[in-house]
Chain A
């Protein structure tokens, strides 16, 4: 069945460091891929998404490219800020006619130190 695997956390970085959070997936059909973020005390927010191979999603300095050949959707940011501290979830939704429910990875907690 469909699944998402993302790197285990927690990840601790200094401000202005480069961030990569790895995400790989297994899916039948043609999934859409998402990154959601949960800031402390808040709900999940969509960070970015990509709906087909080679698409790049980007938002707030974060970006991720849908790589079909490596079944990956790694999240990157060139220079993190303290305000980026949150839990990041990679997710997929099977585009191939399913009801659209999301399948999530376990989440990666990011802490950015000043």
Chain B
């Protein structure tokens, strides 16, 4: 069974540009999460999809970030326009649910975003 995959693995862009990150969850997993780790800080929750619906987007930092999950399968996270403080590693995770504290989340390898 394939794990969670993310693309690209690295992205270097200039301030003001747009970047789109993609996550493919484990097949059949209804829950999809996005997290971010800014240099030297904790991994922070961004948002949670259940199938194609946004269940919780309380962690999204501002309206420059837009997440979508087409047909309840893969998800994209767009940053537009990117700012310097957006640099970090963006992780995606999926789980089979229902979303409870006991559910194991499986993580992808992350996308390292550098904004210059």
Partner of A101 from the list B42, B48, B106 (CB cut-off 8 Å) is B48
Nearest A-chain residue to B108, judged by Cβ: A43
The answer to whether B91 touches A102 (Cβ under 8 A) is no
Which residues of A come within 8 Å of B, CB atoms? 4, 30-32, 36, 42-46, 49, 51, 89, 91-96, 98-107
B21 at the interface (CB under 8 A from A): no
Nearest A-chain residue to B106, judged by Cβ: A46
The answer to whether A89 touches B109 (Cβ under 8 A) is no
A82–B11 CA distance with the chains assembled, in angstroms: 31
Partner of B55 from the list A44, A99, A103, A105 (CB cut-off 8 Å) is A99
Nearest B-chain residue to A45, judged by Cβ: B107
- Given known A42-B109, A43-B109, A89-B43, contact A101–B33 (CB-CB < 8 A): yes
The answer to whether B104 touches A102 (Cβ under 8 A) is no
Question: Contacts A91-B43, A102-B35 given; 10 further ones with Cβ under 8 A?
Answer: A43-B4, A43-B107, A49-B102, A92-B101, A99-B48, A102-B33, A102-B93, A104-B43, A106-B41, A107-B43
A32–B100 CA distance with the chains assembled, in angstroms: 9
CB distance from A38 to the nearest CB of B (A): 9
The answer to whether A99 touches B104 (Cβ under 8 A) is no
- Given known A43-B91, A106-B41, contact A100–B107 (CB-CB < 8 A): no
7 contacts between A and B (CB under 8 A): A31-B101, A46-B105, A49-B102, A99-B55, A100-B105, A102-B33, A106-B40
Nearest B-chain residue to A46, judged by Cβ: B104
A106–B44 CA distance with the chains assembled, in angstroms: 10
Chain A residues, CB < 8 A from B42:
4, 104-107
Looking at B31, B59, B107, B109, which has the most chain A CB atoms within 10 Å of its CB?
B107
| Cβ-closest 9 pairs across A and B | A95-B101, A43-B109, A44-B107, A93-B101, A100-B99, A101-B45, A104-B43, A32-B101, A99-B56
Nearest B-chain residue to A51, judged by Cβ: B102
Cβ proximity bits B75-111 to A, threshold 8 Å, 1 near / 0 not: 0000000000000000101010001111111111110
A94–B102 CA distance with the chains assembled, in angstroms: 9
